[in-house]
Amino acid sequence: MDQLEKIQQLKKKRNAIILAHNYQRADVQDVADFVGDSFGLSQKAVASGAAVIVFCGVDFMAESAAVLNPDKIVLMPELSAQCPMAAMITPEALKLEKQKHPGAAVVCYVNTSAAVKAESDICCTSANAVKVVNSLDEQEIIFVPDRNLALYVAANTKKKIIPWGGYCPTHHLILPGDILLEKEEHPDAQVLVHPECRPDVVALADKVLSTAGMLKYATQSDAREFIIGTELGLLHRLRKENPQKKFYPATAYAVCPNMKMNTLGSIIRALEKNEHVIKVPENIRKKAKQALDRMLEAGRGD
Ligand code: 13P
Ligand code: SF4
């Protein structure tokens, strides 16, 4: 029996669903029941009737699925798939920041631990950050942990944004020179970039979108060519779903090693051995769930 057959058999046996982020390896994306951006994955985790969720992404995504689904088993095939940006803020540091700005609301990007979410008023993803910020009554917003996303929001809202200093090491590898070079080679291509990119890269974009936003835009647009400023895993779906269009990565260096840790083999092991079960302590889970629920109620922005 090959790996794909084995996975189908185990999924049936365990009443499991496989959720995968758009940056996963191509074969992991192809075996998943749903592939999406952080917002879509949070929605799917809630909507699924499965008993077991195998989450192929990074730590904070599996943790969010566990926060939203206390009655389901959430499995993370590779525990070492940790997002470095999420590790750039702790609940203790956020508490201190809140003391400095007592009138401010806290918006946390989903790329955070459940403990940081528990200290926040509402979560957001790259798909709805501006919408979430504008939905709040407060005029001052502490925005954690991604500085680039915070600056993008600040440029698109009237509210005062207090940014944290975190960043995504993978998106930081995309440089303005890379975009300019690709534009020279493909003058008719539209430039789509992720808001985790540096502000000088965002300034060169035709559109700033989440990964699912890029897929939707590229599919619906009349343009035939696109320069893509995000992690390379997204190119698999872009090309698969739009075979008549051309997609050029802004740089071949934009690989997230953490996102690439899950494999077909680790999915099989996860389902066979029930590894690794992600659990969040109940006091943290309840508070983090409030922040995630508020975000899901606010909806997707693009
Ligand atoms: P989205 O797919 O939500 O745009 O997120 C990008 C990302 O970096 C996830 O880690
Ligand atoms: Fe974290 Fe960046 Fe990797 Fe996303 S792409 S998981 S933000 S390091």
Residue 147 in domain: yes
Do 163 and 183 lie in a common domain? no
Distance CA 135, CA 29 (A): 33
Residue 46 confidence (pLDDT) above 90: no
Do 226 and 189 lie in a common domain? yes
Average pLDDT, integer, range 234-244: 98
Residue 105 in domain: yes
Residue 159 in domain: yes
- Evaluate: CB of 231 within 6 angstroms of ligand 2: yes
Do 273 and 288 lie in a common domain? no
Strands (E), the chain: 16-21, 34-36, 52-56, 73-75, 105-109, 122-124, 140-144, 160-163, 190-193, 207-208, 225-229, 246-249
Do 191 and 237 lie in a common domain? yes
Do 155 and 217 lie in a common domain? no
Q: What tokens were used for 52?
A: 């077991």
Do 91 and 160 lie in a common domain? yes
Residue 254 in domain: no
Residue 11 in domain: yes
Is 0.75 surpassed by the pTM of this model? yes
Residue 43 confidence (pLDDT) above 90: no
Give residue 39's pLDDT: 87
Q: How many domains does the chain have?
A: 3
Residue 20 confidence (pLDDT) above 80: yes
Task: Note down the domain range covering 66.
Answer: 3-82+259-279
- Evaluate: CB of 81 within 6 angstroms of ligand 2: no
Confidence of residue 1 (pLDDT cuts 50, 70, 90): confident
Which atom of ligand 1 lies closest to the CA of 213? Answer: 4
Longest CA pairwise span in the chain (Å): 60
- Evaluate: CB of 146 within 6 angstroms of ligand 2: no
Do 153 and 291 lie in a common domain? yes
Distance CA 299, CA 47 (A): 15
Give residue 61's pLDDT: 96
Query: Which residue from 290, 293, 295, 276 is spatially nearest to 73, judged by alpha carbons?
Result: 276
Give residue 129's pLDDT: 97
Report CA(57)–ligand 2 centroid distance (Å).
Answer: 10
Average pLDDT, integer, range 229-252: 98
Considering only CA atoms, which residue is closest to atom 7 of ligand 1?
A: 38
Sign of the C-alpha dihedral, residues 274, 276, 281, 284? negative
Ligand closest to Cα of 123 equals 1
Do 288 and 155 lie in a common domain? yes
Q: Which residues of 41-72 are buried (b: 16+ CB within 10 A; e: fewer)?
A: bbbbbeebebebbbbbbbbbbbbbbbbbbeeb
pLDDT tens sequence across 249-301: 999 999 999 999 999 999 999 999 999 999 999 999 999 999 999 999 998 77
Do 178 and 222 lie in a common domain? yes
pLDDT tens sequence across 138-193: 999 999 999 999 999 999 999 999 999 999 999 999 999 999 999 999 999 999 99
pLDDT tens sequence across 103-127: 999 999 999 999 999 999 999 999 9
Give residue 45's pLDDT: 86
| Separation in Å, CA 256 to CA 87, 102, 180, 184, 278 | 15, 36, 22, 26, 22
Query: Mean pLDDT over all residues of the chain?
Result: 97
Give residue 42's pLDDT: 86
On whether the CB atoms of residues 218 and 247 are closer than 8 A, the answer is: yes
The CATH number linked to 204 is 3.40.50.10800
Do 240 and 187 lie in a common domain? yes
- Evaluate: CB of 84 within 6 angstroms of ligand 2: yes
Do 162 and 293 lie in a common domain? yes
- Evaluate: CB of 193 within 6 angstroms of ligand 2: no
Do 139 and 210 lie in a common domain? no
Residue 232 confidence (pLDDT) above 70: yes
Confidence of residue 302 (pLDDT cuts 50, 70, 90): low
